[in-house]
Amino acid sequence: MPIAECKCGQPLFANNEYCPQCQEKNPRSTVGAFGFVPWWGWVCVVACGAIPILTMGGALPGALGFGAAAACAGISKRPDWPIAGRVAACAGIVVAAWVVFGVIALGAARLGS
């Protein structure tokens, strides 16, 4: 049973995160933030999630890692972006997250010495 109808008239199901016809986001979708993430999206999610694992927690690395991971997951499945653009954006987020983490780690090391 469709749970909603898109603006374009396409019936939307709970597992349609995006309308298959016009690619509008389905507001009643039950797909979570990490649902339907492609394999390369998971690579980026794991690469970002490794930051708080490496530091064994901490508010700053945790927020950085999970924020970047969620951003990668969201971008990786956007139907309105070409796949090359999504891969590049996710890779950019991973690099940016690790650069920010490096700056934080360097700062913490200097404070500690």
* Residue ranges that bind Zn ion, judged by CB under 5 A: 6, 8, 10, 19, 21-22, 24
Task: Give me the least distance between CB of 8 and Zn ion, in Å please.
Answer: 3
Min dist. Cβ of residue 10 to Zn ion (A): 4
What torsion do the CA atoms of 46, 89, 32, 28 make, to the nearest 10 degrees?
180
Beta bridge partners of 25: 18
Nearer Cβ to Zn ion (17/93):
17
Task: Tell me how far, at minimum, the Cβ of 39 lies from Zn ion, in Å.
Answer: 27
Name which of 18, 48, 17, 46 is nearest 32 in CA terms: 17
